[in-house]
Every structure is written in C-alpha cells, then in structure tokens.
Amino acid sequence: MRSLFLFLLLLNVLYALWQWQIGGWRFADDVPAQNAATTVAAAADDGLDSRPATPPPQSQPVAVEQGEAPPALCVMLGTFSARAEVDQLQQRLLAVDVPAELITREVVTTTDYWLVMAVSGGSQGALARLSLLQERGIDSFVITRGRLAGNLSLGVFSQQEYAAARQAQLEAEGYEVRIEAVEKSRDQYLLQVPPQARRLLDQAMLARLRKDFPAMQHQYQACDGVAKARNIP
C-alpha cells in the first residue's frame, strides 16, 4: 500500500513537472506577441502610425526623347574642273527625268609668296617707285588687282623659304618689303541629285554615265545647304 502511494505521488510530481515545462515554453512563445502588442499600444499613445510602411512605388521608365532624324543624303556627282562638261552631264540627267542642281565650289590649288613693297601717292607714286627700281635692275611690277592692289611686287615665289631669302637680300640693300601669301584658287563643279531621286541613279545608270564621263565620281553626303538651314532658329 505504501509502495502504491509513493508510486502515485511520483506520477503526480512528474505530471506537475511536465505541466510546468509545457507552460514555460508557452510563456516564452507568448513574450514576442506581448512585446509587439505593447509596442503597438505605445505607438498609438504617441500618435504614431503603427501600420507597416508602404513600400515606395517603383520608378516608371522614362521615355528617352530621340534626337532629330539625320537629314536625307543627296548624291553628289563630280567633281569637274570644266563647266562645259558638267553642263553636259546635267542635260543628260534631265533628259531621263533625274533632277540635278549645279554646285560650284572654290578650292585652293596653290599658294604663292609675294614680296610686297608699300608705296604712297596713289598710282603716280607707284609708277615713280617702279621706274626707280627698274633703273636699278630690280624686277618689280605694280599690283593692280586684289587686296594688294596699289602696291609693288618685287618677286613671286612658290616656296616661302625662297621668298625669305630674297627678302633678306633686298633689306640688306635698303628696301623694306614684306612677304604676303597669295592663294590661287579655281572653281570646281558638282551635280547634286536630291534624296527623292536617288533611286533613279542605280548602278547600271551610274556605269553608263561613267563611261561617257570618266572623271565622274559619286558619293552620298548631306545635301549642300541643308545642314546649315536646319540650324537656323
């Protein structure tokens, strides 16, 4: 009987310990919830919004503005040094309904170096000084055209070092001269076919034209005058 009593007592003790352990774990699990409730209540008392922060909206893609479309390209046919030849080509194109505009460009071919002596007294002063120089055996002439008109030239050289050497000789003889670079230019001619007529100039037609005009070359580039016009406000 005593053994049965001790056995039952032991079972009660073990059951009590088991209940205490279960209750302890539950208490530990309830602590975060109680802390969260306490935090929410404190936030409400302080006037703060206890709701979770709304995530920032995702940035919307911004459409990238594309720049202006590049200007359409013209077909340039040339270059020709003789006006008569380019006129013939233009008439040939017009005969087959291909519009072509004549473009004239001035290009620098060479540069000469002039020895220039300034004179005063107008044309009479220039002629008097010219006569004196020629009497002394110095080649010279009166410049009658261009930006140097009215002055005397004491020599024209194709290379600057030759002009400088002659300048030193004349200055040693007491003549004051300066070196002026004078560019020689000539006109070149091209035909410009507009973009809307490019399809008419196929390879077969270009080959036929090149047979009759061996100097003709063709290239695609911005139409003459169009690029500048687009920048005008």
pLDDT, tens digit only, all 233 positions of the chain: 566 666 777 777 677 666 665 554 444 444 444 444 444 444 444 444 444 455 545 545 444 445 555 668 999 998 999 999 999 999 999 999 999 999 999 998 899 999 999 998 888 889 999 999 999 999 999 999 888 999 999 999 999 999 999 999 999 999 999 999 999 899 999 999 999 999 999 999 999 999 999 989 999 999 986 443 333 33
pLDDT at residue 146, as a whole number: 87
Its pTM surpasses 0.85: no
Instruction: Report the pLDDT value the prediction gives residue 36, as an integer from 0 to 100.
Output: 43
Instruction: Look up residue 142 and give its two tokens.
Output: 């009166």
From the list 45, 34, 188, 37, the residue with the least C-alpha distance to 107 is: 188
Alpha carbons 193 and 74: distance in angstroms, whole number: 6
Report helix angle 203-212 to 83-95, nearest 10: 140
Burial class (CB in 10 A: 0-12, 13-18, 19+), 113: buried
CB atoms under 10 Å from CB of 85, counted, come to 15
Strands 152-157 and 141-142, sheet pairing: antiparallel
Strand 217-222 to strand 101-117: parallel, antiparallel, or no bridges (unpaired)? unpaired
The strand pair at 101-117 and 141-142 is best described as: unpaired
pLDDT given for residue 20 in this prediction: 62
Q: Is the dihedral of CA 116, 122, 125, 126 positive or negative?
A: positive
**Burial of 108 (C-beta count, 10 Å sphere; 0-12/13-18/19+):** exposed
Taking a C-beta distance cutoff of 8 angstroms, is the pair 154, 138 a contact? yes
Give pLDDT, residue 197: 92
Q: Which residue has the tokens 């050289």?
A: 157
Q: What pLDDT is stored for residue 10 in this prediction?
A: 75
Terminal alpha carbon distance of the chain: 118
Give the start-to-end residue ranges of the domains of the chain: 110-183
110-183, CATH topology level: Alpha-Beta Plaits (3.30.70)
Residue of 163, 158, 156 lying closest to 140 (CA atoms): 156
Token pair, residue 84, equals 């008569």
Q: Which residue has the tokens 């560019």?
A: 183
